[in-house]
Amino acid sequence: MADKNGPDGTGETGRGKQHEADIRDDDLERRRRDLEASLATRRPDRLEGKDAKASSVAGYGQALKLSSEFIAGIVVGVGLGWFLDRMAGTSPWGLIVGLLLGFGAGVLNVLRSAGVVAEFGQGDKTRDPKD
């Protein structure tokens, strides 16, 4: 005699469980599409296609610019310190001081280039000069 409760005795047949799983999958898929649409409206700055490549190349360009400005500051500082050591005979102190000053100049160049620090003499234009 066949049991109508199905193989596990829960009252569900294999076909009923499959139908229930399909409904859950459809609901899950609908919720995923709704979430994607919601995220797309909240993140309009996200670039797609050709614009994403252009943004990536611009990012690499900016990184190359910042790193070269940092390295240039250090190289100039070391060069001037080495030159001072050769002329004044103060080896290795001119090189050490030049390295430290070059490092500071490189950091300052990067901050200026990134727009974090204003150029010398520009000041804060939002402040009232009477304050």
Query: How confident is the model over 68-90, as pLDDT tens digits?
Result: 999 999 999 999 999 999 999 98
72 plus 93 within the same structural domain: yes
Give domain status of residue 82, yes or no. yes
pTM of this prediction exceeds 0.75:
no
- Confidence (pLDDT) at 13: 55
58 plus 38 within the same structural domain: no
40 plus 59 within the same structural domain: no
- Distance, in Å, from the CA atom of 107 to the CA atom of 104, rounded to the nearest integer, reads 5
67 plus 92 within the same structural domain: yes
Which ranges of the chain would DSSP assign to H, the alpha helix? 14-42, 50-88, 93-114
Give domain status of residue 125, yes or no. no
Give domain status of residue 28, yes or no. yes
Query: How does DSSP assign 2-37, residue by residue?
Result: --TT-TTSSS--HHHHHHHHHHHHHHHHHHHHHHHH
CB 2 within 8 A of CB 13: no
Q: Domain range holding 76?
A: 54-114
41 plus 61 within the same structural domain: no
Q: How many structural domains does the chain have?
A: 2
What average pLDDT does the segment 47-61 reach?
70
